[in-house]
């Protein structure tokens, strides 16, 4: 990386986003951390600083259109550049296809898809200058949609598509763009899901967590740090010729290249 290198990480207050921020603190000189949870963001920032990088915290809701300007303006005012943009924010409700309301559909798309889209467009000029990198986080539901998480699948599929569209423009503008498709990663959000799901299926939380990998055909859940390592590689100089790709990391749940 450059002597001064700056990464924006959304969803940095927990899970994969926090793990990514901590991992990138070893590669970038400064991080701009965005999420809605100010308290947890501050904790992430403290760990980032302990690892040797500067950190700016922005408690923003990326569903709101003005948030993209706030994040990019802060990065440029604080550090003068943007070298990498990693879109990790985005929780989409797992509600049955036949039960979801229009409002729930709109809310699911607002953060993970449209928030990321707006932020990429707003940061594009700075990324062109730095010849920087963008990574979108999708998810394995995009590859195997089911009625119970149709919104998750549809949003994740849209993210893969829009990342490829940005990558096409990025070839002309010198901006590298890829997406990552994680499988079942054990985060706090997934733990909370099992705590609600297990009793409805006459299982203990421990039984549900043990049962899921077997049914998914994987040996274990992934760890946030494993996805963070992949993301760090994708925005590193070693991966610079890799663009327009959708990189799957799911423990073998979906077989293929």
- Residue 37, SS3? coil
For residue 94, pLDDT beyond 80 = no
Mean pLDDT of 232-257: 92
Provide the whole-model pTM.
0.92
Domains of the chain in sequence order: 6-183+223-249 (3.40.50.720), 186-221 (no CATH)
Pick from 186, 184, 143, 163: nearest CA to 86: 163
Q: How many CB atoms lie within 10 A of CB 249?
A: 18
Q: DSSP string covering 60-85, please?
A: --TTSTHHHHHHHHHHHHHHS---EE
> Residue 4 — pLDDT band, cuts 50, 70, 90?
confident
For residue 142, pLDDT beyond 80 = yes
For residue 218, pLDDT beyond 60 = yes
Distance of CA 70 to the CA centre of its chain: 19
* In contact, 63 and 115? CB cutoff 8 Å: yes
For residue 161, pLDDT beyond 90 = yes
How crowded is the C-beta side of 20, counted as CA atoms within 13 Å? 34
- What per-residue confidence (pLDDT) applies to 257? 64
> Residue 150 — pLDDT band, cuts 50, 70, 90?
confident
Cα→Cα distances 25→6, 10, 18, Å: 10, 14, 11
- What per-residue confidence (pLDDT) applies to 3? 61
* In contact, 31 and 54? CB cutoff 8 Å: yes
> Residue 95 — pLDDT band, cuts 50, 70, 90?
confident
């Amino acid at each position: 990386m450059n002597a001064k290198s700056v990464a924006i990480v959304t969803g940095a207050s927990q899970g994969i986003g926090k793990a990514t921020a901590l991992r990138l603190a070893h590669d970038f000189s400064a991080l701009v951390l965005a999420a809605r949870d100010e308290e947890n963001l501050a904790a992430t920032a403290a760990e980032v600083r302990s690892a040797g990088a500067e950190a700016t915290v922005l408690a923003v809701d990326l569903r709101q259109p003005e948030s993209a300007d706030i994040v990019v303006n802060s990065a440029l005012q604080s550090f003068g550049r943007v070298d990498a943009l990693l879109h990790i924010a985005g929780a989409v409700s797992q509600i049955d296809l036949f039960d979801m309301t229009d409002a729930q559909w709109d809310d699911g798309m607002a953060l993970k898809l449209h928030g990321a889209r707006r932020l990429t467009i707003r940061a594009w000029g700075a990324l062109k200058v730095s010849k920087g990198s963008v990574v979108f986080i999708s998810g394995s539901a995009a590859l195997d949609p089911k009625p119970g998480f149709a919104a998750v699948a549809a949003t994740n599929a849209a993210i893969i598509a829009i990342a490829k569209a940005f990558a096409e423009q990025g070839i002309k503008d010198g901006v590298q763009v890829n997406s990552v498709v994680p499988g079942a990663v054990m985060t706090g959000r997934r733990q909370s899901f099992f705590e609600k799901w297990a009793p409805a299926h006459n299982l203990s939380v421990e039984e549900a967590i043990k049962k899921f990998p077997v049914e998914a055909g994987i040996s274990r859940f992934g760890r946030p740090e494993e996805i963070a390592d992949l993301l760090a590689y994708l925005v590193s100089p070693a991966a610079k010729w890799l663009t327009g790709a959708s990189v799957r990391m799911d423990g073998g749940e979906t077989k293929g290249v």
